[in-house]
Structure 1
Amino acid sequence: MCTVQVDGIALKSCLMLAPQLEGACVRTVESLAVDNKLNGLQASFHRHHALQCGFCTPGFLMLATSIVERGEMLSRDEIREEISGVLCRCTGYENIISAIHEYLQETVAANPQSVAKELV
């Protein structure tokens, strides 16, 4: 899993040095589930079968979390562009795009003020 959130921004951890993170808030995919329950975004990935071997899934989830936390409703094409930096060799990305798009519709479009509260 290369993508993590550093101070709320999705970044490639493999391109950072540990001293760069001093004093920063670093979140990994393990921070998303609460009380062993999937959060809404993870549940959307599950519903849409948006995971294959699981190697890239943490990166997609952390990047998607950053997208959702921005509170912007994105089109499928915009989502495709946003996730283009996370590589997956097992899928055609359509299920991942569908999962993110559905979750954005359920949260951002329906109630933008509640997005940050549900994901944190």
Structure 2
Amino acid sequence: MAQAGAVLAVSMKTISPKMKQIAFPSAFSASLGITEPAVFGVTLRLVKPFIMAMIGGGIGGFLASILDLRATGMALTGIPGALLYLNEQLPLYILVNLVSFSIAFILTWFFGYKKEQTL
């Protein structure tokens, strides 16, 4: 979810039509757990958004650890990952995802990307 937040910030802030064309769909797919387009198409190429996404993901993972969040079954991420938490942990899972997404979005918006920056 942190990758989705960082890429959404890039896609909303950029003035480059090419970057918008890559970033918006990448943000959607990253929110579903498919992060390769976001990582290799946007954040890793720009470096700073990748670092901001790592910070957001790290804070989300730390929060999940503090809340003792545990998955059952196979490892899904993003929105479909909610299927693993259809118990009393679902609100905590949603909270962790929102925290990761928000932190990565805010850090990328303010520190990780300049409007004029291009690939």
Q: TM-score, normalised by structure 1?
A: 0.34
Larger helix proportion, structure 1 or 2?
2
* Higher relative contact order structure (alpha carbons within 8 Å, sequence separation ≥ 6): 2
The structure with the greater share of residues assigned to strand is 1
Give the alignment's TM-score, normalised by structure 2.
0.35
